[in-house]
Amino acid sequence: MTGPTAPDPLLQLALRVEQDIFLVRQRGREVAAAVGLEHQDQVRLATALSEVARDLLHTVDGADVTFAVDVDAATGRPVLRVDLAPARPLPDGRYEPQSGAVARLVDVLAVVADEGDTVVRMSRRVPAHAPALPPERLAQLRDELASSAPGTALDELAAQNTQLIAALDEVRSHRDELEVLNAELQETNRGVMALYNQLTEELEATNRGVVALYAELDEKSAQLRAASESKSRFLANVSHELRAPVTAIIGLARLLADPASDPLTAEQARQVGLIRSSAGDLLSLVNELLDLAKAESGRIEPNWAEVDLRAVFGQLRGTLRALATRPEVELVVAEPPAPATLRSDEVLLAQVLRNLLHNGLKFTERGEVRLRAERRDDSWRLSVSDTGVGIPPELHERVFEEFYQVPGATRVVGTGLGLPYARRLVKLLGGSLELSSEPGRGSTFTVTLPEGGA
């Protein structure tokens, strides 16, 4: 069990009487310190050594103790090796320390055969960060150990006491630390519980708030719906009531201006003309209001049927030609690609397109107003584009609000009800009405309708 070459001993001692146990212990600690073992390991080795020394003294009348630095075959690192060669053969050639814990104090504690003799060997690794141990250093250590005088048994007892006190101190400080840690842990636990409770309460409060908010929202939307319904009802009633007297005024004015009636002075004829045109404007406003109110209250029921877009476009081409009075503006109604059919309400659809074309003609001074149809998958895109004044982007949604007219364009007559009405109708037909426009570059209103109806 020896290495190829047995290391030179650093120190040798004889263990024969009780006092030698102290000596072995003390010298063991000195050697351990000299080769670079850490303080705790020095104490461990010294303790193990004194235990084994006591056992051997009692069982085999002592031993020859040899300290040496060896090299661990597995790691190539130095180890401190202590061999105790028994004075008499070990019983059965075996050795078991009295206390089982002793073996744990060192890396190796075993009985080995060394050059025919049986020795008890213990060893402990020298830590990697300890100073190197070249042969010169070992020779120096050997000299130092040889010249240092061993202390008395009393000295060793005192040293042992000091070590014990230090170890006890360490244990106590560990226990104190543990107590502090425990207290901190309990504190933290209490804190976490408090936080958790607080969060739970806040969450509950927030939930209650959200529920209340939803209830309020529901109530508000019900109120809004009711308000919108009464507005539609009011508009319908007022416009209905206004229609009869306004129509009467127009009829009477026509009668007054009739050549068969009493002749009027030129001034009277002019004034009657004014009355007629104002009443005419009023009637168209009343009619549009009535239409819108009807659409909003859902009282318009589309008359669903197969609609031929070519027929609708042809009709629009004919009726709107009369409106396109400016020679600088061309009205183009492009022929839809065949088969140009969809399920819809022909009258309502024609009303929407007429409205959009009418606006195009109103707001375009030169260029063209074009109606075209395009099929995309299962829907139709009917677009009315013009090269007119255009609409600023921030007003693209506002023009669909009732009575809204883009400021500055007021010299063109109108009510501001056409677009909201058109959008309502398109919605009833299951589609959408969108606008894209740039001021000065014209506008495009696009009606998208599903081919199969709403």
* Contact residues for ligand ADP, defined by CB under 6 A: 359-360, 363, 386, 388-389, 391, 399, 404-406, 409, 414-419, 443
Q: How far is the CB of 395 from ligand ADP (least distance, A)?
A: 8
Q: How far is the CB of 386 from ligand ADP (least distance, A)?
A: 5
Run of H or E residues at 434 = strand 432-438
Task: Please give the angle made by the CA atoms of 285, 355 and 346, to the nearest 5 degrees.
Answer: 115
Q: How far is the CB of 431 from ligand ADP (least distance, A)?
A: 18
Determine the residue type at 100.
G
Q: CA neighbours within 13 Å on the CB side: how many for 418?
A: 18
Determine the residue type at 167.
A
User: How deeply is 219 buried, as exposed, middle or buried, from its count of CB atoms within 10 A (0-12, 13-18, 19+)?
Assistant: exposed
Cα–Cα distance measured from residue 69 to residue 79, given in angstroms and rounded to the nearest whole number: 6
CA separation (Å) from 253 to 269, 274, 283, 286, 315? Answer: 10, 9, 14, 18, 33
Name which of 371 and 389 has its Cβ closer to ligand ADP. 389
Q: How far is the CB of 264 from ligand ADP (least distance, A)?
A: 32
Q: What residues pair up with 382 in beta bridges, in sequence order?
A: 373, 447
**Residue in 105, 103, 101, 96 with CA at minimum distance from that of residue 29:** 105
Name which of 304 and 404 has its Cβ closer to ligand ADP. 404
Question: At what angle are helices 39-60 and 18-35 packed, to 10 degrees?
Answer: 150
Name which of 22 and 363 has its Cβ closer to ligand ADP. 363
Q: How far is the CB of 293 from ligand ADP (least distance, A)?
A: 15
Q: Using CB atoms, what's the residue nearest to ligand ADP?
A: 414
Name which of 160 and 443 has its Cβ closer to ligand ADP. 443
Q: How far is the CB of 402 from ligand ADP (least distance, A)?
A: 8
Structural tokens at position 362: 């109103």
Q: How far is the CB of 359 from ligand ADP (least distance, A)?
A: 3
Q: Is 11 helix (H, G, I), strand (E, B) or coil?
A: strand
Name which of 86 and 360 has its Cβ closer to ligand ADP. 360
Name which of 2 and 448 has its Cβ closer to ligand ADP. 448
Cα–Cα distance measured from residue 278 to residue 230, given in angstroms and rounded to the nearest whole number: 28
Name which of 336 and 360 has its Cβ closer to ligand ADP. 360
Cα–Cα distance measured from residue 83 to residue 73, given in angstroms and rounded to the nearest whole number: 17
